[in-house]
Structure 1
Amino acid sequence: MDGSAEAAATRTRSLQISPGDLEAAHLDDLIREIEQRSLYYYQEKNKSLRARYVYGTIFLIINLCAWFIRDYAQKALALLPRKNVSSCGPEGSDCFHTLGVLRVSLGCFIFYLVMFLSTWNTRKLHEFQNSWHSNYWSFKFLLLVLAMVASFFIPQLYIQIYGEIARVGAGIFLGLQLVSVIEFITWWNNYWMPHDQSKHSCSFGLVMSTVFYIGSVSGIAVMYYFYAACVLNMFFISCTVVILTVMMVMSLHSKVKNKGLLSSGIMASYIVFLCWSAIRSEPLHTKCNAQTQNGHTDWVTILSFLIAIGAIVMATFSTGIDSESFRFEFRKDEAKEEEDIPYSYGFFHLVFSLGAMYFAMLFISWNLSHSSREWSIDVGWTSTWVKIVNEWFAAAIYLWKLISPIVRQPRVYEQPQPTAAEVDR
């Protein structure tokens, strides 16, 4: 009897739970669910950000493999039992030097192209493509090895065709890199030279623009002193002087004002660097290159080579994560949501696939007919002219970006003033 009374009392108390208690319990569950979802997105986003460095490290290792195959693989193979591979020709000659670099580049290109095709439409962190981009490293490592091995069984004719295509892909990569650099320079200028003209920010921007301009002029003077050994170099340096003058005049235009002052100074330094790099790429044993290279492999040459490889990887990496500058998959005026991916995976892998073509061209100096010297990179007349054209193209893009708001600005037409007779009427 007592047990039945206690059970009835329990049922009565359960029926007496207020709606407020139910709402509070539901609210607690909702908050817990939101926190768990936020934690999940946070972890997935961190995985995605860490994955960028893994892909960059893979790209660096592939660059080092291409260098080894170009310079030392044939010597190493001589120490091993001879094995003939039909696609590599007699003694494996078609798998080393220039063709070996192209084969490694092709394997790298295939890997990143597969990653691009499998991730290009990724939008949210909960999609499978996000997990594929950030996980499954064992499977992706196997995919990379298969792509590399398969490229060494492709006939020589197709490798040469790929080399011609790689020239175009490398040119596209250079264009993307230029846009990324100019966008970064513009962002830095807007940060330090804001429209409200904060005293601290503008002062720093003016000082930095002065420093960059002084550095650019000093660089021009050094190039005139050391590298003006032939008419061609005089032409390159003089063209750079003209470009710097035009940029300075445009940045001081009344309608541009401080919007282009700092950016033009940074861009001037970048253009001077491209001119210097072009002159340094001139081939050995020529009148123009009397002061630039000694033809011997020393620690300076090795250090310069390693720095150049690091620059290739950094340029590819920085351009790959800068998808917003190109507005392929994102819009700058579009608000980011919590579940959105932190950067465009498809564009990231597309840039790395083009970067595979770019490093191949640098290792073979854009020339498919002969092999490069040991510990050299991007040396030859083709490399020189590619950098000079790159310099001119960069200047043209920047100047257009500087004046385009003025050109596109709608004209304001004044209304004709009424005559005295019209006023009387």
Structure 2
Amino acid sequence: MGAVLGAFTVSQLACCCGSAACSLCCSACPSCKNSTSSRIMYALMLLVFTIICCIMLTPGLQAQLMKVPFCDGNPNGCKDLVGYLAVYRICFIVCLFFVLMALLTVGVKSSKDYRAGIQNGFWGLKYLIVIGGCIGALFIPHGAFGTTWMYFGMIGGFLFILIQLILIIDFAHSWAESWVTKYEETESKGWYCALLSFTFLHYAIAFAAVILFYIFYTQPHACGLHKFFISINMILCIIISIVSILPRVQEAQPKCGLLQSSFVTLYIMYLTWSAMSNQPDCNCKPSFTSGSCNSKSPTFDTQSIISLIIWFGCVLYSTIRTATSSQAAKLGVAQTVLVKDDGSGGSDDGGENGGQKVYDNEEDGVVYTWSLFHAMFSLATLYVMMTLTNWYSPGADLTTLSANEASVWVKIVSAWLCLLIYGWTLIAPILLPDREFS
């Protein structure tokens, strides 16, 4: 349903709420697939509301709101309009939006379905609905909303972590396979050096991180839990790296090697650092992070920012990742070009009249499952909510937002699950030789 704008007339102003907005987001590109442009638009929507949530956690925002006449006369001083409760309420509406979209697109097989317009168009209306819902959600009575929604957030956020781990491992395999294939095809020393360089770089950073962890996050006669985390994760990474180069694994997967393992190792070290940074015990953290241990207001630290960068990287990767060759064969190589111009008839000039080519590559069948895509984005919203609030558990003091044990174990369990999933991708072709893994 992605359209291409031709001559700009007054009658086309309505396109801002229609399918044309989908193609406008890619106007800088020579051409755009309808499925890709729609996913990018949803990713941008999620990013916009994530930024709004970050603004709601900005220190001093509540003090500025007190200067507003409405808040000045409000009994609670509009404190519920900022902070972690504001993040909860905004993410509540955004999550509901994606759940609704998932329900509306269940069973869609191609863009010929009448629900394709809902999926690929009406972007202005969608933003208005979500913004209106967010404004209304700010007035939800305090009650048990925060605690109840927190449990939904924990479950949904953890489910997204599993999806994120799969995406990261898939990226590692895709990256290594791509470079190995290029090296085998060209026998270029450049690709060989690139493989060696990035593998060495990943392991070097991971090794340096382990040393720094022992220096800054442990004490000679204390911080036993941190010592356990660092040691066990380092040992597991060494084991998984050795497994990746075993003869049987190499025979089953010739393109599997140390580049994937080094990338996963680096990610495990990040999760270990992130977990230790959320440790409530300030004595087991370096001085430059211990100041946030007993913080009475939301603060953005380095590990939270990196978590969001990795999160959005995974969202973008899942959004723009092209269909596999098997999907392309199933859907057909031929694609239909849908172009709207000034009424002179169909054209494929791709923008000579100010428009842009948009390939509707879902007429014969959807490239991705729309309902599952929205379900994943709803879980991504919950993950953002829990990450921004540091997996916070509302208690008696609802103004306190500090490091806690929940966030520590979420990160550590995520690291172990990542190693488990990656290890399975290595040995699965050996244990199940009759199945094809790609």
TM-score by length of 2: 0.70
1:63 matched to 2:63: no
Amino-acid identity (%): 23
Q: Secondary structure at the match of 1:100?
A: helix
Partner of 1:18: none
1:366-395 deviation line (CA, Å, top 9, x unaligned): 123256778x8xx43321221111001100
Question: Post-superposition shift, 1:278?
Answer: 1.8
Question: Post-superposition shift, 1:168?
Answer: 0.2
Take 1:178 and 1:305, find their aligned partners in 2: how far apart are those partners?
Answer: 17
Alignment partner of 1:265 out of 248, 259, 262: 262
Partner of 1:247: 240
Partner of 1:205: 195
Partner of 1:279: 276
Whichever residue aligns with residue 208 of structure 2, its letter is: S
Query: Contact 1:105–1:357 at 8 Å: present in 2 too?
Result: yes
1:317–1:387 Cα change, 3 Å: same
1:76 matched to 2:64: yes
Take 1:361 and 1:236, find their aligned partners in 2: how far apart are those partners?
Answer: 22
Take 1:82 and 1:196, find their aligned partners in 2: how far apart are those partners?
Answer: 65
1:256 matched to 2:252: no
Q: Secondary structure at the match of 2:375?
A: helix
Q: Secondary structure at the match of 1:335?
A: helix
1:111–1:98 Cα change, 3 Å: same
Whichever residue aligns with residue 406 of structure 1, its letter is: I
Partner of 1:345: 370
Q: Secondary structure at the match of 2:248?
A: coil
Query: Contact 1:192–1:205 at 8 Å: present in 2 too?
Result: yes
1:111-147 deviation line (CA, Å, top 9, x unaligned): 2222222234333334333332232122112211232
Partner of 2:352: none
What are the equivalent positions in structure 2 for 1:40-119 lying under 5 Å apart?
46-71=33-58, 72-82=60-70, 90-119=76-105
Question: Post-superposition shift, 1:260?
Answer: 3.3
Partner of 2:213: 223
Query: Contact 1:224–1:234 at 8 Å: present in 2 too?
Result: yes
1:152 matched to 2:135: no
Question: Post-superposition shift, 1:334?
Answer: 5.3
Take 2:393 and 2:385, find their aligned partners in 1: how far apart are those partners?
Answer: 10
Alignment partner of 1:336 out of 331, 334, 346: 331
Take 1:134 and 1:385, find their aligned partners in 2: how far apart are those partners?
Answer: 39
* Deviating more after overlay: 221-230 vs 136-145: 221-230
Alignment partner of 1:387 out of 388, 411, 421: 411
Take 1:381 and 1:280, find their aligned partners in 2: how far apart are those partners?
Answer: 11
1:240–1:171 Cα change, 3 Å: same
Query: Contact 1:116–1:345 at 8 Å: present in 2 too?
Result: yes
Question: Post-superposition shift, 1:396?
Answer: 0.7
Alignment partner of 2:113 out of 117, 127, 132: 127
* Deviating more after overlay: 104-113 vs 342-351: 342-351
1:82–1:333 Cα change, 3 Å: closer
Take 2:112 and 2:182, find their aligned partners in 1: how far apart are those partners?
Answer: 40
What are the equivalent positions in structure 2 for 1:293-308 lying under 5 Å apart?
293-295=289-291, 308=307
Question: Post-superposition shift, 1:191?
Answer: 2.2
Take 1:83 and 1:203, find their aligned partners in 2: how far apart are those partners?
Answer: 61
Partner of 1:318: 317
Whichever residue aligns with residue 269 of structure 1, its letter is: L
Query: Contact 2:390–2:407 at 8 Å: present in 1 too?
Result: yes
Q: Which has the higher contact order (CA 8 A, sep 6+)?
A: 2
Take 1:243 and 1:387, find their aligned partners in 2: how far apart are those partners?
Answer: 16
Take 1:83 and 1:206, find their aligned partners in 2: how far apart are those partners?
Answer: 60
* Count of aligned pairs between the two proteins: 357
Query: Contact 1:107–1:148 at 8 Å: present in 2 too?
Result: yes
Question: Post-superposition shift, 1:314?
Answer: 3.1
Question: Post-superposition shift, 1:344?
Answer: 3.8
Query: Contact 2:272–2:415 at 8 Å: present in 1 too?
Result: yes
- Structure with more helix by fraction: 1
Question: Post-superposition shift, 1:84?
Answer: 11
What are the equivalent positions in structure 2 for 1:157-196 lying under 5 Å apart?
157-194=144-181
Structure 1 spans left out of the alignment, 5+ residues: 1-41, 411-425
User: CA RMSD for the aligned pairs?
Assistant: 3.6
1:171-224 deviation line (CA, Å, top 9, x unaligned): 000000111111111122222335995544566434533333233222222322
Take 1:352 and 1:89, find their aligned partners in 2: how far apart are those partners?
Answer: 36
Take 1:390 and 1:103, find their aligned partners in 2: how far apart are those partners?
Answer: 26
Query: Contact 1:323–1:343 at 8 Å: present in 2 too?
Result: no
Q: Secondary structure at the match of 2:247?
A: coil
Query: Contact 1:260–1:402 at 8 Å: present in 2 too?
Result: no
Whichever residue aligns with residue 146 of structure 1, its letter is: G
Take 1:243 and 1:364, find their aligned partners in 2: how far apart are those partners?
Answer: 30
Alignment partner of 2:388 out of 363, 366, 381: 363
1:322-350 deviation line (CA, Å, top 9, x unaligned): 5979xxxx975853333424544333322
Take 1:324 and 1:234, find their aligned partners in 2: how far apart are those partners?
Answer: 43
Partner of 1:17: none
Query: Contact 2:168–2:314 at 8 Å: present in 1 too?
Result: no
Structure 2 spans left out of the alignment, 5+ residues: 1-28, 336-360
Q: Which has the larger radius of gyration?
A: 1
1:256–1:193 Cα change, 3 Å: farther
1:53-103 deviation line (CA, Å, top 9, x unaligned): 333332222123223334455323311234699xx9844444442322211
Query: Contact 1:176–1:319 at 8 Å: present in 2 too?
Result: no
Take 1:290 and 1:43, find their aligned partners in 2: how far apart are those partners?
Answer: 50
Query: Contact 1:49–1:342 at 8 Å: present in 2 too?
Result: no
Whichever residue aligns with residue 253 of structure 1, its letter is: L
Take 1:46 and 1:196, find their aligned partners in 2: how far apart are those partners?
Answer: 30
